[in-house]
Amino acid sequence: MITANDLIALVQNYNPKTDTDLITRAYDYGARMHDGQTRHSGEPYFTHPIAVAAILTEQQLDDATIVTALLHDTVEDTRSTFSEVESEFSTEIAELVDGVTKLTNLQLSSTETKQAENFRKLFMAMSKDLRVILVKLADRLHNMRTIKAMRPDKQQQKARETMDIYAPLAGRMGMQWMREELEDLSFRVLNTEARNSIIRRFITLQRETGDVIRKITTDMEAELDRAGIDAEVMGRAKKPHSIWRKMEAKKIGFSRLSDIYGFRILLNREEDCYAALGAVHRRWSAVPGRFKDYISQPKSNGYRSIHTTVSGRDGKRVEIQIRTREMHEVAEAGVAAHWSYRDGVPAENPFAVDPAKWIASLSERFDSADDHDEFLEHVKMEMYADQVFCFTPKGEVVKLPRGATPLDFAYMIHTRIGDSCVGAKVDGIRVPLWTRLRNGQSVDVMTAEGQRPQATWIDIVATGRAKAAIRRSLREENRERFIKLGRELIRVAFDHVGKRPTEKALKIAAKQLSIENGQEILARIGAAELTAREVIATLYPELARKTGEEIDVARAVVGLKPSQTFRRAACCQPVPGERIVGISYRGKGVIIHAIDCDVLAELEEDSDRWVDLHWQEGRHPAAHNVSIDITIANDSGVLGRICTLLGEQGANISDLVFIDRKPDFYRLIVDADLRDIGHLHAVMLALEADSDVSSLNRHRNLERKP
């Protein structure tokens, strides 16, 4: 285990003026708080915070961030409190630790609505102090490096979450080395055989061709030396996941993949970068369409570099990045370069971006999202976006994500331009609106008065900004029709319960549902985004529960043929209120799955077996079995209290199985009969609020397939 002196030595390598007393006190405090705790591997738990701190020293971060790494799990996992950390260290460090604790508690891979809300919280935490996410990324990196000690199902869950969220976030922040390592560690878990296959082929290739990297590096150094350019050349083979992604994208095998090596040329001055580019292109043929100049058009995270691909030895393609050493520091640290230290003072790198401005540029488009789905769509597009630079006819630069179209370009200039777009010219040639734009192209948008967005545009555009603007315009265009329809639907529904939908009632319902006003409620009902029953349930919850007969379980699903029978899939256990799809089986009728069930991915090719279904609207009986995975403290009375809580929520326990017994905790699967998704959420909330419940999840068993 790294000692306090070892850690201090790592910090002093780049910051000789570090506060050694502060780091020593934090080390001792963390060791004391975590004393007696162990990791899944059996190691002392404190080895993890120390390793996280060591990872952050590689990025040459300030003392506060290093101390936060040492303490990042204390408030969550020990008897330590925010106030104690604040008094022992500082308000700054206490707030950083608190920020990391809140991020740790976000379940970013949960259902879409909750995932969107958690992403909002993630970006709020980032906007307060970006160092919080730097500690969290280092925390996730060490967890992925040591993931083998976890259960296989937890490995899969963590790897998927890392691949979907943390790796792209690291890349978006400019920390490409961390993104690559996180992706590769996740790839090792998610597709072990594919990764091993690529490694085996690499070994075979090296045996056949020798040390290609050394040969090409020597060639480049000689060429640059002849041109009188002082440069450092570095080469490496790409990570297995990066190669796999290229193979998947291009639909080709390993043997046909040529650009599997990457090289960097580091120089002293910006003008040397262009001189080096000229020397490389004079010696080797440039591959058309594979040139990007991020020096003249830097990325929002401060990244600057020239990218080019050339045909090297034996016709093999070679990717080359050309940049100065200062640019390289930012390319390695990304946004974290703002906090980097050198010789005891913050490193003044002219290319490091202001984190506040970067997070503002990343999140500025999220505010326009009207609902959870749109917000989530915006976030994921921003996270994964690889930029394309295009020009207006006046020569102004417009940044767009890869895959963007002239319509995206139009909406990026102004919503009014996008709404009235009737066509576009790219490099002077008229093109369809669905054309994918490439780097360096000039785009001229043609508009016409009276033109309105079309519904088909949603599938054409690639940016969240354009999608949100189109949806908003379509809603406004149909608003009057939806309001009229919604008024009639809600009148009938209110008549059914003996009430009148007055303006005052609608105003109160709008406030309860966090909707702008009563007119918007009517519009959403008319657009099938909200049901009249939900409005009644909001205003008169007791009346909504008591009125109407319970729906027959045998007729709970709409969309089946008269002769078809159905049953719920055991793997995902869908309940009323969830989006569902049916899969027909010979001799078994129709099995209904939740729309997010992983089993459906295996059946994508059998579209003729899919049946469009939805649940009956109304009051369902508590007859839908759901499994809940719960870990509780092993204390007297806890299990009885949990059973009582379930009973108080009107949930009948149909089965209870202990799957793990430890001296301090029990883990069990509880099967409960519930009415619908709202009932499930109420049960989960009641259980989660109990202080003796340490973890709670809806249990999905993919081994129980139809």
From the candidates 21, 58, 63, 77, which is the catalytic residue?
A: 77
Residue range 447-456: mean pLDDT, rounded = 84
The alpha-helical segments, DSSP class H, found in 497-631 are: 503-512, 518-526, 532-539, 541-546
- The pLDDT of residue 574 is above 80: yes
* Inter-residue contact 537 to 496 (CB < 8 Å): no
CA–CA separation, 475 vs 462, rounded Å? 20
Distance CA 559, CA 504 (A): 37
pLDDT of 382 above 60 = no
pLDDT confidence tier of residue 29, bands split at 50, 70 and 90: very high
Q: Which pLDDT belongs to residue 258?
A: 57
Q: Within 13 A of 680's CA, how many CA atoms are on the CB side? A: 23
Give the DSSP H/E element, type plus range, for residue 670: strand 665-674
Q: What is the pLDDT of residue 321?
A: 92
End-to-end CA distance of the chain: 49
Residue 704: the pLDDT is: 59
pLDDT score of 366 more than 70: no
Mean pLDDT of 531-550: 70
Q: What is the mean pLDDT of residues 661-684?
A: 87
Q: Which helix (H) or strand (E) holds 98?
A: helix 91-104
Answer with the residue of higher pLDDT: 258 or 655.
655
Please report the pLDDT score of residue 118 as a whole number: 55
State how far the alpha carbon of 285 is from the alpha carbons of 29, 71, 271, in Å. 59, 53, 22
77 is catalytic: yes
Q: Distance (Å, rounded) from C-alpha 38 to C-alpha 57?
A: 24
Candidate from 83-87, 245-249, 340-344 with smallest mean pLDDT: 340-344
317-324 and 306-311 strand pairing: antiparallel
Angle between helices 503-512 and 518-526 (to 10 degrees): 80
Q: Respond yes or no: is residue 676 known to be catalytic.
A: no
What residues are paired with 583 via a beta bridge? 591, 610
Q: Which residue in the list 19, 58, 76, 444 is annotated as catalytic?
A: 76
For residues 135 and 75, is the Cβ–Cβ distance under 8 A?
no
- Length of the chain in residues, anyone? 706
Q: Which amino acid is at 28?
A: D
Residue 211 in this model has a pLDDT that exceeds 90: no
Q: Of 213, 144, 211, nearest to 179 (Cα)?
A: 144
d(CA 484, CA 495): 17
Per the model's pLDDT, the better-predicted residue between 282 and 465 turns out to be 282
From the list 513, 577, 521, 576, the residue with the least C-alpha distance to 539 is 513
Q: What is the dihedral of CA 607, 610, 612, 616, to 10 degrees?
A: -170
Answer whether residue 323 shows pLDDT above 90.
Answer: yes
pLDDT score recorded for residue 124: 62
Written as one letter, the residue type at 515 is I
Q: What is the mean pLDDT of residues 303-309?
A: 88
Question: Could you tell me if 88 and 82 are in contact, meaning their C-beta atoms sit under 8 angstroms apart?
Answer: no
Kindly state the average pLDDT of the residues 78-82: 87
Residue 680 has pLDDT above 80, yes or no: yes
pLDDT > 70: what percent of the chain? 85
Of the two residues 166 and 369, the one the predictor is more confident about is 166
- Render pLDDT for 583-615 as a digit per residue (tens, 0 to 9): 888 777 899 998 888 888 777 777 778 888 888
Q: Is 427 left (phi over 0), alpha (psi -120 to 50) or beta?
A: left
Q: Using the predicted structure, report yes or no on whether residue 111 has a pLDDT greater than 70.
A: no
Residue 113 has pLDDT above 50, yes or no: no
- Of 470, 375, 464, the closest CA to residue 421 belongs to 470
Domains, the chain, ordered by start: 4-190 (1.10.3210.10), 194-346 (3.30.460.10), 385-462 (3.10.20.30), 471-546 (no CATH), 553-615 (no CATH), 624-698 (3.30.70.260)
